[in-house]
């Protein structure tokens, strides 16, 4: 049995950066200091748990927090959040991915120019919530700007753009805000699917870019499984299979992929 790993595996730049920011902040903590992450700093429960052991507490709101340091996650946060942190006299550390910041800056510029803004993405995702807060309530539906959540699939974004262009607008500006790493991972996964009869997608069940990879694998018709850790791997999956492909989300550490490979080899 052959095991092939997608060329784009391991942490992406934005995830590495956010983890480094959190770890450096934890090193500088003095006794009695508190440090909080507004939502998971990245969408990988195992990494978040490791950071929790080091002292990084995940919170959903600032309501009951009285002081300390607050880190904005790699996905960004609504505009109001930074102001609320400062009002409480807390130290603010912004770990927003630079590619997410790029999308945010496009939205700011479009808003200034009077464009209605269309965001293609998951409305419940923290990145999209942050973008919506910047876009505000401009209802101009004749002059619009279109951007995408950074972890959208290229195909889905194109399909949504086609629908938008079928409407009656006087002007449409379209921006490609899909992260380059996201596109590369999706392409590498598609290439792996051509030569494998079973695919394993490794990453957080709450990770948007990992779920996109899982969706691509499911749609291909190849037997596929989305897992977070090696403990989820079942021996029964591999009966009659000759070529196993492994792909991973942007917030999945290389060490987890290695653990999964080791478990498969033991089988």
Please tell me the distance from the alpha carbon of residue 103 to that of residue 215, in angstroms, as a whole number: 24
What are the C-alpha distances in Å from 118 to residues 62, 112, 125, 140, 188? 29, 15, 15, 10, 29
113 is catalytic: no
What are the C-alpha distances in Å from 62 to residues 35, 42, 52, 93, 120? 12, 19, 17, 14, 28
Residue 119's CB is within 10 A of a number of other CB atoms, namely 22
The residue with tokens 């052991």 is: 53
Closest CA to 152 of 129, 118, 186: 186
Residue 169 three-state SS: coil
Q: How many residues does the chain have?
A: 267
Between β-strands 116-120 and 143-148, what pairing exists: parallel, antiparallel or unpaired?
parallel
Q: What is the DSSP string of 185-228?
A: HHHHHHHHHTT-SEEEEES-TT-HHHHHHHHHHHHHTSEEEEES
Query: Which of 49, 113, 127, 219 does the annotation list as catalytic?
Result: 127
Q: Phi first, then psi: give them for residue 152, nearest 5 degrees.
A: -65, 155
What are the C-alpha distances in Å from 98 to residues 50, 75, 149? 24, 10, 13
Residue numbers annotated as active site: 127
């Amino acid at each position: 049995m052959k095991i092939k790993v997608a060329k784009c595996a391991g942490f992406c730049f934005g995830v590495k950066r956010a983890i480094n920011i959190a770890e450096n902040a934890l090193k500088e903590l003095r006794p009695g200091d508190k440090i909080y992450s507004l939502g998971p700093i990245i969408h990988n429960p195992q990494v978040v748990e490791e950071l929790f052991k080091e002292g990084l507490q995940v919170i959903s709101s600032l309501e009951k927090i009285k002081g300390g340091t607050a880190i904005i996650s790699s996905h960004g946060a609504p505009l109001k959040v930074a102001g609320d942190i400062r009002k409480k006299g807390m130290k603010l550390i912004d770990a927003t991915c630079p590619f997410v910041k790029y999308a945010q800056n496009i939205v700011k510029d479009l808003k200034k120019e009077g464009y209605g803004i269309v965001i293609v993405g998951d409305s419940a995702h923290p990145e999209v919530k942050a973008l919506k807060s910047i876009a505000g309530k401009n209802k101009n539906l004749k002059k619009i700007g279109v951007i995408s959540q950074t972890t959208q699939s290229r195909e889905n974004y194109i399909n949504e753009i086609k629908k938008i262009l079928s409407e009656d607008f006087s002007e449409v500006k379209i921006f490609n805000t899909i992260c380059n790493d996201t596109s590369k991972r999706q392409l590498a996964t598609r290439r792996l699917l051509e030569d494998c009869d079973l695919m394993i997608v490794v990453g957080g069940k709450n990770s948007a870019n990992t779920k996109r990879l899982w969706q691509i694998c499911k749609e291909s018709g190849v037997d596929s499984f989305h897992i977070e850790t090696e403990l989820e791997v079942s021996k029964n999956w591999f009966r009659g299979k000759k070529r196993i492909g492994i792909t991973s989300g942007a917030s999945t550490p290389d060490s987890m992929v290695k653990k999964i490979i080791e478990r498969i080899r033991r089988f």
